[in-house]
Chain A
Amino acid sequence: DTAVSQTPKYLVTQMGNDKSIKCEQNLGHDTMYWYKQDSKKFLKIMFSYNNKELIINETVPNRFSPKSPDKAHLNLHINSLELGDSAVYFCASSPHHGAGATNEQFFGPGTRLTVL
């Protein structure tokens, strides 16, 4: 009965490769997010989708492309991976998206991406 799940948990790949991370939530939430946490634990939002519609795109390189086939899924595809992409990527969801984003967010377990 996992609320927010991500696959894979670990991803080790070579520079220049293309990879995808998948996220699914079974909470019935309308809004989903992708965050990047760097080695210093700084957590920064990358994207936000509400009912499959892109709401937030935070100056992320266009090598990163999110895709939301339905409101329960938000996948992240990364092209031409670079060393600086190494980080932990977290998916999250919240009940709905409105002014002020007052709802708590539920986080997945994270995907640790290592680019060699």
Chain B
Amino acid sequence: SQQGEEDPQALSIQEGENATMNCSYKTSINNLQWYRQNSGRGLVHLILIRSNEREKHSGRLRVTLDTSKKSSSLLITASRAADTASYFCAAVGQGAQKLVFGQGTRLTINP
């Protein structure tokens, strides 16, 4: 069954604003990962948060994890035009050996 599901499907904001994307999953996880995909390119790993972690930061990225709600969020602060891309969450179930991706959020940063 599909694990990660992103919300919203598309988000358009002005440069400099913060962007928040949400991800929900269905079963217990070992960890959850966020990836970025620029148009016509492969996915790039952004951040991994383990099931026993609640928050993680990497530069302008902040990821939270709420295992009680089976949800995660990715916050990009002070957005830039170069942040325009699709963002995917991918859940790794307990004892599982694969990533299960959601359909992604398409983020557009307007100059």
Query: Which residues of A pack against B, CB within 8 Å?
Result: 4, 33, 40-45, 48, 55-56, 58, 90, 92, 97, 99-102, 104-110
Contacts and interface: CB of A to CB of B under 8 A. Distances in A.
Interface residues of B, number: 27
Contact of B99 (A40, A101, A108, A110): A101
Nearest to A41: B104
Nearest to A3: B42
Interface of B: 30-31, 33, 35, 37, 40-45, 48, 50, 86, 88, 92, 94-101, 103-104, 106
B33 A56 contact: no
A94 B21 CA distance: 25
User: Is the contact region of chain B dominated by helix, strand, or loop, or is it mixed?
Assistant: strand
Contacts of A101: 30, 92, 96-99
Given A100-B31, A100-B94, A107 B101 contact: no
Nearest to A100: B30
Given A41-B104, A107-B42, A56 B98 contact: yes
B86 A41 contact: yes
With most chain B CB atoms within 10 A of its CB, the pick from A4, A40, A107 is A107
A114 B100 CA distance: 24
Nearest to A31: B97
Nearest to A33: B98
Given A42-B103, A43-B88, A109-B42, A100 B96 contact: yes
A107 B43 contact: yes
B10 to A, nearest CB: 11
A74 B48 CA distance: 25
A104 B43 CA distance: 11
B26 to A, nearest CB: 16
Contact of A105 (B45, B95, B106): B45
Nearest to A40: B103
A97 B97 contact: yes
